[in-house]
Structure formats: C-alpha cells, structure tokens
Amino acid sequence: MKMNNVSDAQILIIDAGAQYGKVINRKIEELGIKTVFLPLNSTFETLSQNAASLKGVIISGGPGVGTAEAAQALKDTAFKLDVPILGICFGNQIIASAFGSTVESTKVREDGQFRIKVDVSSPLFSGMKEEQEVLVTHGYGITKIGPELKIIATSDGHIQGVQHTTKPIFGVQFHPEVDLTVHGREVLRNFCYNICNIAIRDVMKNRQALCLEDIRSSVQERTVLALLSGGVDSTVLAALLTKALGPSRVLAIHIDNGLMRKNESTLVVKALKNIGLDVKRVDCAYRFLNGKTWVHVEGCKNAQLSDCLNTIVDPEQKRRIIGDVFMHIMSELLNDLDKDKFILAQGTLAPDLIESGSKLSSAMADTIKTHHNDSPLAREFRNAGKMIEPLRTFYKDEVRELGRELNLPAELVNRHPFPGPGLAPRIICQLDLYPWYLENYNDFNNRLNLICSYHRLRATQSQMLNSLEAQLSDQKREFLISLKDHPRIYPVLLPVRTVGVQGDGRTYSYAAAFSCEAGAKISWDVLSHLTKLVTMLCPNVNRCCFVFGDKIEGPVRDITPTLLNPGAISRLREADSAAMDMLRQHDAMKLLSQMPVILLPLHFDRASRHDPSTKHSIVLRPFVTQDFMTGSAAIPGKHIPEPVVNDIAAAVSGVLGISRVMYDLTDKPPGTTEWE
C-alpha cells in the first residue's frame, strides 16, 4: 500500500511504540480521513510539513511511561502545532505530565476489558452511554490531576480520561482503537468529526485493486515463488497473485516442516488444487527439526550458532530457527531456478509485523514474539527487494473480506488461523523443574493463594492480608468475598512460563491454574473474573487456566522432559485432532475465531513419586476476536455451549499419555493468543 504524503494528511499519529499504533491508523482511515504515521522523536519541522491540512494529532500508546521529560519534548513539537490532541495510554500520560499531573506506578496493573464511567458532557464522549466497556493495559497512571485538567473518565478509583479545561486536548488511558473497547469507534469519530471538525465523507477504496497494482509494479516481468501454508493469508495471497499475473507466473510451494497438524499438508495441497492452484509439496521435516541459526548471546560480541531446534527450550530461539530455515529453503529453491527471474512472496499481515517489532510497523514497538515471516533473515530478503508482501497492511478480518471478494470457498476463507511455525509454539519445551522454579516462586504462589483464600482469611484478621488489602478497591474486595458462595477454588502457580503482552510490552511470566473438587458446579463467569483479578494483583502471572478433573493441591513439581521431538509432536497432533474433530461434530468451529491446543510438560496425579514423569497436559485456548490484535477468551455458556467444552475435554483426556486438560481463561492482553 502507498502511504499518504505528509502534506495531505488530516490526522497526524505520533508513534510511541504501541502494539496497536497501526490499528489507530487503520481505524482513522476507515472513517475516510487521511493520516500520516511518524515516530515520537520527530522534529517540529517534520511534524509541521502537513500544517496546512492538519486537523488533529493522536499520540499513541507505548511501552514507556509519560514522564515530564517526554512531555517537555512533545511540548516543543506536537503541542506547538495548535490543533486538537488526543493522547492514548502513554499519550494520555504525556498530556497529564505536560499540564502538571502526577504519573506514577499504580498499586495494581490493569490488563484486559474493564467497565469505566465517562462524562458524557465531554465532546469526546458525546452521544455515548455513561458506562463503557474498554480495553485497559498499563502499570502506570495519573495519581494526581493537574490544575488545568479535569477528569472525564474513571474506573474503580483509577483516572481513565482527562480533558484540558480551555484547550481541545484530551487523554484516555484505555485503547479506543481496538475491538475490546466496544464503542471505541465512536470515541475516534467524536474526536475527528466533532472536535477536529473534519468533514464526514464516504470512503471509496478498492483495496483489491491496490493489491493487484502493487503486485504488478513490484514483480514486473518476473515469476513469483509463493510459500503457501494453506491458511487464510497464504491462500488469499495465492489467489491475488494468480489474478494479477496469471497462473503461469506463480510457482506455489507448500513446505511441510514436520510440525503440521494431523494430515494437514495433504489436506492443504488438495484444497489449494481444488481452487486451481498447482501446488508443489516439499517435505522438510528433518531439515527443520535439525535446523540452526545465528543468535546473539548476552556478554558475547559476535553472534553464535544455536543448537538444533529439537534441543531448544527458549521460545524466541525456536521461532527464529524456524523462520530462518524457511528462508534458507526458499533461497535454495530460488537458486535452483533462475533467481534473477523470480521473486519471493509471503502472506505477511500487519499483526505479524507489529508483534515482531518490525520497523515497518513502528520505530519503537517492543518485540512480543518473532513471527517466522519477519525473522532477521526474512528482513534481509525484504530490504534487498527480493520479496513482496501484498497483505502487509491488512488485518485478519480484512483478509477474509478480500478472500470473499475473490470468490474463494467459505471453508478456506473462514479457516481458523494456524501459525506458520506449526505446532512448535504450542509445545512448551522444558527439561526439568528448576530453570523456571525460581527463588521467588513460593512468594508468588503464596500471593496467589492469598487472593483466592481472601474470603476465609479475612475473618481471621490475618496479618498476611495487609499487603493485599492496600491494593483492593471496594469492588475487588466484594468480589473476593463473594467467592465464599462458589465451590472452593484451589489455585496453584504452574512451573512453566508463557508469553504475554502487557502495557504494550512483552512479558514472559508464570501461568496460574484453578481447580475444584470433582463434580463441583463451577461458574465460568466467576473464574473469568478471577483471572482478570489475578493478572492484575500478581505482576508475575500473565495467564490463568481451569483444570478439569479433581482438585490439585500443593505445588506442581512433576515435569516431563519435553523438546520438539517426534514423540511430543505426535502426542500434540493426536490431542489437537481429537479437539478439532469434536468442534466439527458440534458444528462449533464458527463460534470461535481460533482454538490453539497446547502441550504442557506437566504430569499431574503421578501414581508413585519413584516413577518418572512421562505424561503431558493439554491446554485448550478457545479465542474470540476480529482483528487478532486483542480478543477475549471464549467463556463456556457465553461464547460456546458448556456441553461442547466438556465433550472436547473428555475427547482430549482419552488421548494416550495425557495427564490433565486445562481451559485458558485469559483475554489478550494480558495473554497472547498462543502460549509462546
């Protein structure tokens, strides 16, 4: 896609490193408004190039903190433009600091969907209801308001929005650009149309035509070598390439990396051939599992060659090896052909670049997880002009819409996403207990138990509650007391780490598990609410699950040594196949956006302490989202019928070598869709 010129932009978006910065860009342009996206450290001269047409400025969120120093820097640039300003998250803190407010670490993190109250007399919330459901993700906030500002939004004692008393300057601590802020679009409309006074106009964008034009101008007379996984993105890419260039100039390759689902590669090739694509399948399982790449090791000047993939535990190294092996194979395929007559094509989407911390997305964003299509080697190909990515500005819902426009079959367009690295990020590798069983594990576990036992310990006036009490609002306290009416919840900190996204930054933290006595009538709503509370009150937990079966007491210490070897891969394949078959039997695939199935190296209920740990546990991660940048855990009884969930759990429990089945209750944020 061609970026708008600075000179004709109406809204300037200042990028502070937000995970959702490009989502702001998308949502504003959907309103028919031209934008330009510039980094936080841009000079006044750069920002003011579009002064003639500029109507407003939006300062994005970011992993930093809106300090007085950062506020002063923007006072000398963005604030001098003399147009309305909207600050989001970090941007809100910048505005607060600029006008004398105090911004500091809050007692409790907020990551997820929360209810807030807004001042509907503010033009930012004009025409909206007083109560709103929004996405909040931060560990810092405004604790004291400056004299020139007034509060226009609050939640449970937190300041969620401010407005200058005389100038058109606004700040919100939540994210109006994402789907989890239910009426965020109206907030952005109010800012652009009512506050910035931009005329409402219809947008007539033919994104398919722009893609076709982009492909033809980039490819010219060459032939395209397209890597196809069979997922929505690569299938739409292949259809676009074929329409733009004709089938004779598209060489479609499906690489079987040995990490695909059960029978997946066979089904992928068949499905693509059914829509007229001649796909060549290349079996590379051995090559991937024994793949290596160059990695930077702390304390060493030069990069070092990694160990083989099938011996690696670290999730980022696993992703980088897989991404680089993909690119090496593609490079070799090019060399076998006439490389000057060919160019690579990938179905890279905007979220891939955002989560990988690509400079194409943001100059400052944190790397949450390296996507295989944005590995360092992939970036070399991109920078050298050897690769095209026609979908790089698209989100998943937009790709699906494009697939429908291209008349692709519904079963392909609506397929659940499956990661390019296959099952690799869904197998949590670990060799023993101690790398993750840190000195402070017991402290974190005690904190978790304190939260879930609050309603019992409160009556004893235990001194242990003092630190927790200081972090509880009346609302949180009432909820924890209400747990007395729910079957007893047994919490435990799991000795495994998972990747999360909190405050626009990557976290690599513990997962917590809840269980109840066998046969107890649990409330999924209560467990969901408890998950939100635990990830707020336990800074070292970014994910919570419910464990099916009987209660689990005491620390979990039984680790089954697990690496990316055929045994672990086969076990997950069977569990994943059982889960997906049950979803299809209930015609429930359409109820979910995705359902990753994850293999954990945990053996619960071991018969004898003297026997080795040999079993694994499975986590179901049903997820509901539109753009895949944010989303909600699918709650049984709300998003998916509870009997369906029970049948899936039973089917997976029947797979040989499975110890327990769990259900991930975590929204995104604080947990990513995948566990790694």
Among candidate residues 661, 655, 644, the one with its CA nearest the CA of residue 585: 644
Among candidate residues 387, 358, 359, the one with its CA nearest the CA of residue 371: 358
Cα separations in angstroms, 456 against 347, 452, 459, 480, 530: 53, 9, 6, 10, 16
Q: Taking CA 624 as the corner, what is the angle to CA 619 and CA 628, rounded to the nearest 5 degrees?
A: 100
Q: Which of 138, 158, 164, 175 is catalytic?
A: 175
Specify which residues 285 forms β-bridges with: none
Q: Would you state the structure tokens that stand for residue 493, as one six-digit string? A: 């900190």
Q: What are the backbone dihedrals phi and psi of residue 98, each rounded to the nearest 5 degrees, phi first?
A: -65, -25
8-state DSSP, 40: T
Question: For strand 102-118 and strand 149-155, is the pairing parallel, antiparallel, or unpaired?
Answer: antiparallel
Count Cβ neighbours within 10 Å for each residue of 610-630 and write b for 16 or more, e otherwise. eeebebbbbbbbbbbbbbbbb
Count Cβ neighbours within 10 Å for each residue of 319-335 and write b for 16 or more, e otherwise. bbbbbbbbbebbbebbe
Q: Would you state the structure tokens that stand for residue 383, as one six-digit string? A: 């920078």
CA atoms of 468 and 449, how far apart (whole Å): 11
Phi-psi label, residue 449: left if phi above 0, alpha if psi -120 to 50, beta otherwise: alpha
175 is catalytic: yes
89 is catalytic: yes
CA dihedral 290, 296, 301, 303 (to 10 degrees): 30
Q: What are the backbone dihedrals phi and psi of residue 226, each rounded to the nearest 5 degrees, phi first?
A: -110, 125
516 is catalytic: no
Residue spans of beta strands (DSSP E) within 477-520: 490-502, 505-515
CA dihedral 391, 392, 393, 399 (to 10 degrees): 30
* 30: amino acid identity, one letter: E
CA atoms of 577 and 599, how far apart (whole Å): 13
Q: Which of 177, 186, 355, 398 is catalytic?
A: 177
Catalytic positions are 89, 175, 177
